[in-house]
A and B are shown apart, each in its own frame.
Chain A
Amino acid sequence: MKLIIALIQPEKLPDVKKALFDHDVHKMTVSNVIGCGQQKGFTETYRGIIHQVNLLKKVRLEIAVNEAFVDATVEAIISGARTGNIGDGKIFVVPMERCIRIRTGEEGHDAIG
């Protein structure tokens, strides 16, 4: 079992969701984050003072998958999120020890579904 964490551009979320659904991945958690990487920030002015904004808004996806689905999920995220520009984001594949469905108490492979 793996936990796939993806950091993507917020406006690509609809495309990524669609790509995931097309690859039969329907379960995910989505949250707002801010972050920086290779992408430079931008300049704002407020009442005569200039300031640099370096932490940019991103969207974080967390998807728990069985081994068989890892490659398909990663491909789906890349196809949905890639634009070729700096700032497209990153994907982390993290090993996961246990997964439990709260409603039924199922564990492991079945809990991921």
Chain B
Amino acid sequence: MIRFSPLATAVALLLTAGPQVLNAAGDAPSLAELTRGLNTVWVLIAAFLVFFMQAGFGMLEAGFTRAKNAANILMKNMMDFSMASLAYWMVGFGLMYGAGNGLFGTSQFFLIGAPAETAGVPTLAFWFFQAVFTAAAATIVAGAMAERTKFSTYMIYSFIISALIYPLVGHWIWGGGWLSELGFQDFAGSTVVHTVGGFASLAGAMVIGPRLGKYNPDGSANVIPGHNIPLAALGCLILWFGWFGFNPGSSLSGLDAHLIAKVAVNTNLAAAAGCVATTMLVWWRYGKPDLSMSINGALAGLVAITAPCAVVSPQASIIIGLIAAPVVTFGVTALDRFHIDDPVGAFPVHGMCGVWGTVALGLFHGSEGLLTGGGGKLLGVQALGSLSVVTFTLGSMWIIFKLLSATVGLRVSEQEEIRGLDIGEHGMESYAGFQIFLTD
């Protein structure tokens, strides 16, 4: 008896019955239309994956902070994406991709006057892909400022970074601005997304100050453990999954099969190397393999490979991930030494490894890298670009946070911080009915 195979039947129908899918005019699609269709599907699916990273950030941040603040951090997460979607529509996309000068764009605000297509896909698809990246950069800061930030003030910050700071840097590097003209390269955003988000989070953590009870008068640090490590681990894997849209999707085309396959593999290798190396390093240094550090290690590798993933070899990707491990591990302890409280490690993962990824591109680029026989020119440009983005982001965000602190207030009251922001900012509890052990 012949087994019924849906796949074989479909293929047979397709071959015998002729093209069933017609284009808008009712004709068989042309090669150009098929190309555009394929690329659009690719870009949109990648964008949907990057959207899902928002859930990854949310679970990671909720898991690494205390139960009494869970609703607050997840509100900031939801708002970051919603604010970015709106701000980037209104102002951000125009600043980033509008025709303008080397510093910023001056057209396509509200997408008015935008061409029908950009980069080979409908401009709406291109906009959407860029918008989810904006949200990713914005939400990095929520983690570093967790458990003590006024929600209303945070919303203001969220709009500003998505409307102004991120698009400006994006314009310099992806929108045809001055850094791209110098030959600066950043395939998927180690600089544009992660360095910006990471150093904005550093500015925020510095201005707002550490959580109550984090540091003792004698300078030592206290542990404030995350309340749900399984949730954080889930968040990490969701982020890893979403990164397969973040990096390969940045090709903006599904046609270069070798490129997107290479990018996907490089992405995974760097994440794996980062995770393993961090686990080993922490095991050796602190006595036991710490899941929370392994999570940060995988993400560190992912951040670091985000810039170079298209132009380095798989072997180089492993090395890049390996080096991200000590960067993030020692970065976490370095922050404590300066009494900068970063509950989720946002700055070591995104800021420090973002810089490493940008520089690594100059070291390992297939033909122009310092270590691959290409000389030091690209490395120099990468370093210059990284330094200018760091300076601009840290400086401008520090000023913005200082202004917010002086005008509408940045930090919640001590009493509210102790009681929990879920009750103070949102009038609700995340875990109604649970007995939560509150000791700090």
- Docked-complex contact B428 and A11, CB < 8 angstroms: no
Q: Does A22 contact B (CB under 8 A)?
A: no
Query: Please, which residues of chain B bring their CB within 8 A of the CB of A10?
Result: 438-440
Write out, one digit per residue, whether chain B residues 404-440 have a CB within 8 A of any chain A CB (1) or not (0): 0000000000000011000100011100000111111
- Docked-complex contact B435 and A11, CB < 8 angstroms: no
Looking at B419, B428, B429, B438, which has the most chain A CB atoms within 10 Å of its CB? B438
Considering only residues 43-100 of chain A, those with a C-beta below 8 Å from chain B are 43-46, 57, 59
Q: Does A38 contact B (CB under 8 A)?
A: no
Residues of chain A at interface, number, CB under 8 A = 12
CA distance A45 to B440 in the complex (A): 24
Write out, one digit per residue, whether chain A residues 12-36 have a CB within 8 A of any chain B CB (1) or not (0): 0110000000000000000010000
CA distance A92 to B418 in the complex (A): 26
Query: Please, which residues of chain B bring their CB within 8 A of the CB of A32?
Result: 435-438
CA distance A59 to B435 in the complex (A): 11
- Docked-complex contact A46 and B439, CB < 8 angstroms: no
CA distance A42 to B428 in the complex (A): 11
CA distance A43 to B424 in the complex (A): 10
CA distance A42 to B436 in the complex (A): 18
Minimum CB–CB distance for B425 against chain A, Å: 12
Query: Please, which residues of chain B bring their CB within 8 A of the CB of A46?
Result: 427-428
CA distance A101 to B68 in the complex (A): 37
- Docked-complex contact B428 and A45, CB < 8 angstroms: yes
Can you name 14 extra interface pairs (CB under 8 A) apart from A44-B427, A57-B436, A59-B438?
Answer: A10-B439, A11-B418, A11-B438, A11-B439, A11-B440, A14-B213, A32-B435, A32-B436, A42-B419, A44-B429, A45-B428, A46-B427, A57-B438, A59-B439
Provide 25 A-B residue pairs closer than 8 Å at the C-beta atoms, listed in order of the A residue.
A10-B438, A10-B440, A11-B418, A11-B438, A11-B439, A13-B439, A13-B440, A14-B213, A14-B439, A14-B440, A32-B436, A32-B437, A32-B438, A42-B419, A42-B423, A43-B427, A44-B423, A44-B427, A44-B428, A44-B429, A46-B427, A46-B428, A57-B436, A57-B438, A59-B438
List residues of A whose CB falls within 8 A of some B CB.
10-11, 13-14, 32, 42-46, 57, 59
